């Protein structure tokens, strides 16, 4: 009997030990999984089986949905929670936000901790900027290069605005109030663009598109913000109602966030948008290069009119008035001689005018201009009607150089060949070159190669300065003739500040002939303003060296075309480096040329496609060129050529 009682007591105790924990845990588990309770906590993470209150995971107090402020969905580590509890300073909330920025384990509403690994993809949104359009057109995006390169450096964690990152309402309101610290510029513009990107991501999400009324409202809010943003590039350009429109869009997005709970869908959408934007950027770059090359080859209407008007006036002159004075100075080696080969009348006028106006003794300077048959009469008429002060000028027709023929010059023979014309200008043929820059008429003009025949053109001169027609002279060049050439043939300004200005940029070093004779890392230099010792040229027989290399390049295997590659080869080890202030380059393609370098320069060079006489010329550099033209001159007015 006693045994039975003992057994009953043991069984009772055993039942209590086993069943009571089950009852307790079952209650807690049902409470944790109760969907009604979960809906009451939109920004929390449900912690199953840990006994931790979800509200403790949020370092900042949650906003209610009714107040239209987005809940802060940041998960803090134990270290951050401890530091939060210890912090008693007034700015402790800002401190916590900064700490939060160091954690990438972001969550969507009701997302599990496993989804946090995907948060690295949220940074993709900072690499995309919006583009004007409708609905799906609204989802079309393009990449803003400047934002891509500077967003990570200029934006602090508390100001970053990505899809599910950092409280949008707070960061956007701060940016709309202006940059109080002055640390960042145009924060409002950047944040508005980021907000538009987020809105366009929402447009493509399935959960959002399933709600037609919300989708319609969102499209309307996007259009309103795009209209407000317009073409603004700085915060001060935004209208007064920008703040109101942006807040309305923010509130709409907060509603949309409650409809979407799948992080992977958002990441995929962002990746697709980024891929599309990169493809568009690549296409736009190619189109820009094509249009720039095309514009560089195009002759503006005014420049077409000018030679026609000048030629007409020239042939109406009496033959006795068609000659230039001071012919006796043309062969005087004691004077300062310049060679200029051009078919551009305005460009040649600027070169001559700028040289004479900056010369200490203009009467000692002699200009030798060579042009083609088409522009010969017009070029002469211009300088007859606009004489360069006391300086001497000569205009010659290249057709008069009877010694310059295909039997003497290999390059002239190549330029006149049908194979050369087909290679560069007939793009429908298989062996043609697709690069538009090579299909430029200047490459088939002997004027471009005339610089290699200076001793033959001017047999009585000992030293001469060669000038391109896209340069402007800013200082007196007289001292160039007193430079000791040290046995070198040509004085040059080297351009090897960047790796792509070395020999391997211009020559084909896969060819054994090039590899054997030249150093791929040798410093390149530029034509445009060069001093030539013609006596040393003749002594070293440089013209023959040039001919031999041109013959070797008959099949264009050593270099493609142009004058700089054969110049680098012909004058290899025969160049005298000059001070960089003599010749500053890049004004025809580089908007970042230092104004200090320009002010110190003796010659500035508009090398590149953006010539100052074209509409595509860089406006910030155009005044240096136009200052040497008199736009009140009758011929310029008749042809509507304006500064």
Single residue among 261, 285, 320 that ends a domain in this structure: 261
Kindly state whether residues 207 and 340 are assigned to the same domain.
no
The pLDDT assigned to 129 comes to 33
CA neighbours within 13 Å on the CB side: how many for 110?
15
Kindly state whether residues 227 and 307 are assigned to the same domain.
no
In a domain, 142, yes or no: no
Domains of the chain: total: 2
In a domain, 609, yes or no: yes
Kindly state whether residues 337 and 245 are assigned to the same domain.
no
- The answer to whether the beta carbons of residues 185 and 163 sit under 8 Å apart is no
Kindly state whether residues 318 and 236 are assigned to the same domain.
no
- The answer to whether the beta carbons of residues 581 and 600 sit under 8 Å apart is yes
| Nearest-angstrom CA–CA distance, 638 and 643 | 14
Domain CATH number, residue 371 = 3.90.550.10
Single residue among 261, 284, 311 that ends a domain in this structure: 261
Of 244, 95, 74, 92, nearest in space to 173 by CA: 244
Kindly state whether residues 251 and 306 are assigned to the same domain.
no
Torsion (CA) 29, 35, 39, 41 in degrees, nearest 10: 10
Kindly state whether residues 631 and 519 are assigned to the same domain.
yes
- From the CB of residue 602, how many other CB atoms can be counted at a distance below 10 Å? 19
In a domain, 18, yes or no: no
The pLDDT assigned to 61 comes to 41
In a domain, 155, yes or no: no
- The answer to whether the beta carbons of residues 450 and 497 sit under 8 Å apart is no
Kindly state whether residues 374 and 247 are assigned to the same domain.
no
399 CB-near residues (< 8 Å, 6+ apart) = 372, 373, 376
The pLDDT assigned to 300 comes to 85
Ranges of the chain whose pLDDT falls below 50 = 32-33, 35-184, 430, 432-433
The pLDDT assigned to 389 comes to 92
- The answer to whether the beta carbons of residues 577 and 606 sit under 8 Å apart is no
The pLDDT assigned to 336 comes to 97
In a domain, 32, yes or no: no
- The answer to whether the beta carbons of residues 455 and 401 sit under 8 Å apart is no
Distance from the first to the final alpha carbon of the chain: 123
Kindly state whether residues 308 and 244 are assigned to the same domain.
no
Single residue among 261, 283, 318 that ends a domain in this structure: 261
The pLDDT assigned to 23 comes to 60
Q: What b/e sequence results for 411-426 when a residue is b if at least 16 CB atoms lie within 10 Å of its CB, and e otherwise? A: bbbbbeeeebeebbbe
Kindly state whether residues 321 and 244 are assigned to the same domain.
no
In a domain, 431, yes or no: yes
In a domain, 343, yes or no: yes
| Nearest-angstrom CA–CA distance, 402 and 71 | 86
- The answer to whether the beta carbons of residues 411 and 550 sit under 8 Å apart is yes
Kindly state whether residues 620 and 515 are assigned to the same domain.
yes
Kindly state whether residues 222 and 343 are assigned to the same domain.
no
Kindly state whether residues 250 and 367 are assigned to the same domain.
no
In a domain, 101, yes or no: no
Range of the domain at 250: 187-261
The pLDDT assigned to 139 comes to 37
């Amino acid at each position: 009997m006693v045994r039975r009682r003992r057994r009953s007591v043991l069984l009772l105790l055993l039942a209590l030990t086993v069943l009571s924990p089950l009852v307790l845990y079952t209650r807690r588990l049902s409470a944790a999984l109760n969907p009604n309770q979960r809906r009451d906590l939109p920004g929390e993470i449900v912690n199953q089986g840990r006994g931790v209150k979800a509200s403790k995971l949020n370092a900042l107090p949650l906003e209610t949905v009714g107040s239209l402020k987005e809940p802060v969905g940041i998960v803090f580590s134990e270290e951050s929670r401890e530091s939060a509890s210890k912090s008693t300073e007034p700015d402790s909330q800002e401190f916590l936000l900064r700490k939060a920025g160091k954690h990438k384990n972001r969550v969507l509403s009701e997302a599990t901790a496993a989804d946090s690994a995907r948060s690295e993809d949220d940074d993709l949104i900072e690499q995309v900027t919006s583009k004007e359009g409708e609905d799906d057109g609204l989802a079309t995006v393009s990449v803003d290069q400047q934002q891509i390169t500077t967003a990570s450096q200029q934006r602090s964690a508390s100001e970053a605005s990505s899809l599910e990152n950092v409280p949008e309402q707070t960061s956007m309101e701060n940016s709309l109030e202006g940059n109080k610290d002055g640390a960042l510029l145009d924060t409002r513009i950047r944040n508005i663009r980021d907000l538009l990107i987020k809105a366009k991501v929402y447009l493509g999400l399935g959960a959002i598109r399933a709600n037609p009324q919300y989708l319609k409202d969102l499209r309307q809010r996007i259009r309103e913000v795009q209209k407000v943003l317009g073409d603004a590039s700085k915060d001060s350009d935004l209208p007064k109602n920008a703040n109101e429109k942006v807040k309305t869009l923010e509130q709409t997005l907060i509603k949309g966030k409650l409809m979407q709970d799948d992080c992977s869908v958002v990441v995929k959408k962002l990746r697709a948008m980024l891929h599309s934007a990169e493809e568009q950027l690549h296409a736009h770059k190619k189109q820009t290069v094509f249009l720039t090359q095309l514009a560089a080859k195009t002759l503006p209407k005014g420049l077409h009119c000018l030679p026609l008007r000048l030629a007409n006036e020239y042939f109406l002159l009496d033959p006795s008035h068609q000659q230039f004075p001071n012919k006796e100075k043309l062969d005087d080696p004691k004077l300062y001689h310049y060679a200029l080969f051009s078919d551009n009348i305005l460009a040649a006028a600027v070169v001559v005018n700028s040289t004479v106006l900056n010369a200490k003794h203009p009467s000692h300077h002699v200009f030798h201009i060579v042009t083609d048959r088409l522009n010969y009469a017009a070029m002469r008429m211009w300088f007859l009607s606009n004489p360069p002060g006391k300086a001497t000028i000569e205009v010659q027709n290249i057709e008069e150089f009877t010694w310059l023929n295909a039997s003497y010059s290999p390059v002239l023979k190549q330029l006149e060949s049908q194979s050369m014309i087909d290679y560069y200008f007939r793009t429908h043929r298989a062996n043609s070159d697709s690069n538009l820059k090579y299909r430029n008429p200047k490459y088939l003009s002997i004027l471009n190669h005339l610089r290699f025949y200076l001793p033959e053109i001017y047999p009585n001169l000992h030293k001469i300065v060669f000038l391109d027609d896209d340069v402007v002279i800013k200082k007196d060049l007289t001292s160039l003739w007193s430079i000791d050439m040290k046995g070198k043939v040509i004085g040059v300004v080297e351009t090897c500040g960047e790796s792509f200005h070395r020999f391997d940029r211009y020559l084909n070093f896969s060819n054994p002939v090039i590899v054997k004779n030249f150093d791929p890392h040798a410093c390149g230099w530029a034509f445009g303003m060069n001093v030539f010792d013609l006596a040393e040229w003749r002594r070293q027989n440089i013209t023959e060296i040039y001919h031999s290399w041109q013959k070797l390049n008959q099949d264009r295997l050593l270099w493609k075309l142009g004058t700089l590659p054969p110049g680098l080869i012909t004058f290899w080890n025969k160049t005298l480096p000059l001070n960089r202030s003599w010749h500053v380059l890049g004004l025809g393609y580089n908007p970042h040329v230092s104004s200090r370098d320009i002010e110190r320069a003796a010659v500035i060079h508009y090398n590149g496609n953006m010539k100052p006489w074209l509409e595509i010329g860089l406006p910030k550099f155009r005044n240096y060129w136009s200052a040497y033209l008199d736009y009140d001159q009758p011929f310029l007015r008749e042809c509507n050529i304006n500064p």
